[in-house]
Structure 1
Amino acid sequence: MGKFEFGVSLRLTANGTEWTEKSRRAEELGYDHLTVPDHLGPGRLSPFPALTAAAAVTERVRVGTLVSNVPFYNIALFARDVATTNKLTEGRFELGLGSGHMKHEFDDAGLPWRKAADRIAYLAEGLDELRTRLEDEGGMPKLLIAGNSDGVLKLAAEQADIVGFSGLRQDRGRPPGTFVLDNDVAMDQRVAYFRSLAGNREIDYNVLIQRVVVTDDRREAAAEWHAETEERSAADVDELLRAPQLLFGTVDEMVQQLLAHRERYGFSYFTVFEGMMETFAPVVAELRGR
């Protein structure tokens, strides 16, 4: 069972000065990982230059993609970006990979939208080519593979240093990229499936936290989420209170929740979104290094 590590996913900035301040603040608050997602849209950052800039103004925090959308890329060009970023960050770079899930982004980029099996196949083939191209460039950086499907988790079990459990599944009957939470039982099943494939390999388990609310009334906070998601996210509030992707309660209650999640699922690396960075910091202070 690994020691706790914490990450923050930063995705927007107005300018370089603000980006420097955010990056340094994440390190100051004790976060171990600073990540950038790979999405298209107004204000969205290009991950590799953003991570290089973050590493240049920090000293300790590791920087990485969470995650690079591999089907966006020509692998030869992608390998060049990976190698350059790894060099310029002096070994603090972690490469997170996924198979993509937002159809509208592919449409926006003029790229073909393929079924999930084909996107996962492209990810697998891309990994092989990436390793070959990076052999003379210092090798593959520390590798995170994230997803929820059997195919992606199988790749992670075979090749990743870190597995990222998204804890989300496609909401049937809605447009691609519309998700609902896996409940605690479904997470048990995903983790058990992964472990059955990974065997004795030493792999860190990451999970992306969808919301953090410091409150004296956990049930009320969960009820608010339930209402916001039109009750699609879970059968009832009790199910939400058990979900490892949501943290509601006092700081001490959140600490106890994360200790329980590590014991039950093996999760030791937790990532929060940018808007939760300050809110989650007291929990980071309580658990970092334990």
Structure 2
Amino acid sequence: MGKFKFGVNLWGAENREDWVAKCLRVEALGYDVISVPDHLGPGRNAPFPALTMAAAVTRRPRVGTLVSNVPFYNFALFAREVATTVKMTGDRLDLGLGSGHMKSEFDDAGLPWIPAGERIEYLAKSLDHLREHFSDEGITPPPLLLAGNSDGVLSLAARKADITGFSGLRQAPGKPPGTFQLDDAERMDERVAFFRSHANGRNPELNLLVQRVVVTDDRRAAAESWLAEAPDGLDVDQLLETPQLLFGTVDEIVRQLHERRERYGFSYVTVFQPMLETFAPIVKELSGQ
């Protein structure tokens, strides 16, 4: 079981000065990884230029995509982007890849929305192209993070990834593409067990993407607030045990993360940009453990 590692997923910045300030703040608070998502929309950064800047202005954190939406890209052009970023970041890049899950973004990009199985197959083929390009360029491949929730992505990650990312989200049945619901604790047990059953003795690092952190003396009230905002079929007691939600005092959240590392193997925990400051006391408490 690995020591705790913490990352923050930064969504964007108003300008260069804002981005530099955010990256320096992440480093000062003790986080280990600065990651950038690969989404379209106002204020969203292109991942690789942003990560190159993040590495240039910081000294310690690694940088990474969480995650690159591989079906957006041509294999050869994507491989060039990745290889250049490996060099420009001084080998501090963690390459996070996924198969895409937002139909609206494919529509906005003018790209066809292909079935999930075909998107996962495209993701798998991209790994071969990347490996060949790294070899041709004489570059050591960066650590590979594969993230998702489906059988296809998790079985691929079990075979190929250095880090496996668990989103704990699944497509809501009968809802439009891109409408998600949380996996509860038991479903996360099943997903992790499925992953391990395909790993053939491999032991990649496991990453948990946390959806919300609330530091509070009243955990139940925080769960009730989530339920009011995002009803998805779970009750309050289930939400309190859901791995992707962290509600409680700092000490309670520290205990939750120890329990979730023991139960699931999650030692690498990533929070979203709005939780950067809220989660910082937990990072301080668990650093090095």
| Map of 2:143 onto structure 1 | 142
Give the unaligned 5+ runs of structure 2. none
What is the Cα deviation at residue 87 of structure 1? 0.2
Instruction: Find the aligned partners of 2:96 and 2:9 in 1 and give their Cα distance.
Output: 12
What is the Cα deviation at residue 199 of structure 1? 2.7
1:1-290 superposed matches below 5 A: 1-137=1-137, 138-229=139-230, 231-232=231-232, 234-290=233-289
CA offset digits 1:173-203 (Å, max 9, x no partner): 1111110000000000000011111132131
What is the Cα deviation at residue 282 of structure 1? 0.2
CA offset digits 1:71-124 (Å, max 9, x no partner): 000010000000000001001000000000000100011100001001001101
What is the Cα deviation at residue 136 of structure 1? 2.4
What is the Cα deviation at residue 164 of structure 1? 0.1
CA contact (8 A) 2:35 2:51 kept: yes
Q: Secondary structure at the match of 2:181?
A: strand
Q: Secondary structure at the match of 2:266?
A: coil
CA offset digits 1:192-230 (Å, max 9, x no partner): 01111113213100010000001000000000000101x
What is the Cα deviation at residue 140 of structure 1? 1.8
Instruction: Find the aligned partners of 1:288 and 1:84 in 2 and give their Cα distance.
Output: 31
Letter in 2 for 1:139: T
Instruction: Find the aligned partners of 1:132 and 1:158 in 2 and give their Cα distance.
Output: 18
Structure 1 moving runs of 4+ over 4 Å: none
CA offset digits 1:129-150 (Å, max 9, x no partner): 1111111220321100000001
Instruction: Find the aligned partners of 1:88 and 1:235 in 2 and give their Cα distance.
Output: 45
Letter in 2 for 1:85: T
CA RMSD of aligned residues (A): 0.7
Give the unaligned 5+ runs of structure 1. none
TM-score (norm. length: structure 2): 0.99
CA contact (8 A) 2:184 2:234 kept: no
Identity of aligned residues (%): 66
| Residues matched between the structures, number | 288
Q: Secondary structure at the match of 1:283?
A: helix
CA contact (8 A) 1:131 1:139 kept: no
CA offset digits 1:219-269 (Å, max 9, x no partner): 00000000101x21x431000000000000000000000000000000000
TM-score (norm. length: structure 1): 0.98
Q: Secondary structure at the match of 1:198?
A: coil
Q: Secondary structure at the match of 2:140?
A: coil
CA contact (8 A) 2:216 2:222 kept: yes
